[in-house]
A and B are shown apart, each in its own frame.
Chain A
Amino acid sequence: MKPTEEINALLVKYWKGETSLEEEDSLTKYFTGRDVADELKPYTALFQYRENLRCATLSDDFDRKLKKAIQQKKRENDYITIRIFVPALRIAASVAVALSLSFGVYMMIGKNDKTYFAETYSDPNAAMEHATFALDKLSEALQKGEEASIESIQELNKVDLDWKMLDSITESDINYQKSTDSLPLENNL
């Protein structure tokens, strides 16, 4: 045990804030012992407090509790994130549906709007030749049609018809004849 004088000297330094950490530990050791001088006992509480609080540590399961709390916090944050993005996700889903519909409509219109006439010839002379050939064929077909019509008219002219009587036949008469299974119109001619 340190003599009281030495402790007193250390205490003077201590109150002035001039003691080292080792000297402060010496004081704590003295004041938490059993042989504290009566005149120094008023200061015992200070060093007892110092000693007691230095021993205080967190409970053994603090780390486990903290880990659990952090995981809980993570889950809460994730939930909050999802909650925050729900309106955005709804908007995104709506946009996706609208885009899909628009794409479908575009594709349908695109098919209907396809080009019917397209330039397929690179050589103008070949194109002219094919076009002339096609027009000749068409002209030939029309010519045949015209000749057939003239022949028909000539055949009709040979038949002695009462044109006035034919003109008086109305549409209702023709329908009536069809419905009563009378002779076909062609046979009347």
Chain B
Amino acid sequence: MNSDIFNKSVLPLKDKLYRLALSIVRNRTEAEDIVQDVFLKIWSKQDEWELIDNMEAYCYRSIKNLSFDRLESMAARSAEKYNAEMENMMFVDTKNPHSAFVEKEQIDIIYRCIEKLSENQKMVFQLREIEGMSYKDIAKSLNMSEELVKISLYRARKKIKELLEELNK
């Protein structure tokens, strides 16, 4: 019974949760570890599942919290190693070195912009831009009102536009 709930409600979210973690920690291995840790944590708290109103929101919140915690511990490591791991995160093998370099530059730029967003704005931005979720679904997933989702997304995009324009001057 419990494993059914886990298989039907939690496991299908794995790639979405992974992308959310990846967008925060920017490291594939760390992001995968985070998803696994969150799943293990949820699995080991089976007796609390009935108390969780919105499992999806609970998963997103857990991923967000653990990702930011992990980001702090990663920052504590040597900057050299950290940057080396970051370099490998987004490249697609089929691209040539030049386009891969350009892509990396662009990704670095956008990450610098995203880092300036508040946690709420980051979450809403990720779910809309990466997961392509509707405002209604985002509101449900993050346990917030649809109006707040729209306002957060508007502010996030506005800030990113300003930062992109400033960086490209």
Interface residues of chain A, those whose CB is within 8 Å of chain B, are 14-17, 21, 24-25, 41-46, 48-50, 52-59, 62, 65-66, 69-70, 73, 77
Contact = CB atoms under 8 A, between A and B. Distances in A.
A56 B168 CA distance: 27
B106 A44 contact: yes
Nearest to B17: A58
B161 A15 contact: yes
Interface pairs A-B: 9 shortest CB-CB: A45-B106, A42-B168, A17-B154, A49-B110, A45-B109, A45-B110, A48-B106, A58-B18, A53-B130
Given A48-B107, A73-B44, A53 B19 contact: yes
A58 B130 contact: no
B132 A21 contact: yes
Interface of chain A, main secondary structure:
helix
B35 A43 contact: no
Nearest to B152: A17
Contacts of B106: 44-45, 48-49
A52 B111 CA distance: 13
A45 B111 CA distance: 9
B39 to A, nearest CB: 6
A53 B43 contact: no
Given A45-B106, A45-B107, A62-B14, A70 B40 contact: yes
Interface string B36-63: 1001100110000000000000000000
A58 B153 contact: no
Contacts of A17: 150, 153-154, 157
B137 to A, nearest CB: 11
Interface residues on B, range: 35 or more
B19 A42 contact: no
Interface of chain B, main secondary structure:
helix
Contacts of A25: 132
Contacts of A44: 106
A43 B168 CA distance: 9
Contacts of A70: 40, 43
- Residue of A42, A45, A59 with most partner-chain B CB within 10 A: A45
Contacts of B23: 53
A14 B161 CA distance: 10
B130 A54 contact: yes
Contacts of B43: 70, 73
Given A45-B164, A57-B18, A62-B14, A69 B44 contact: no
Contacts of B105: 45
Contacts of A55: 92
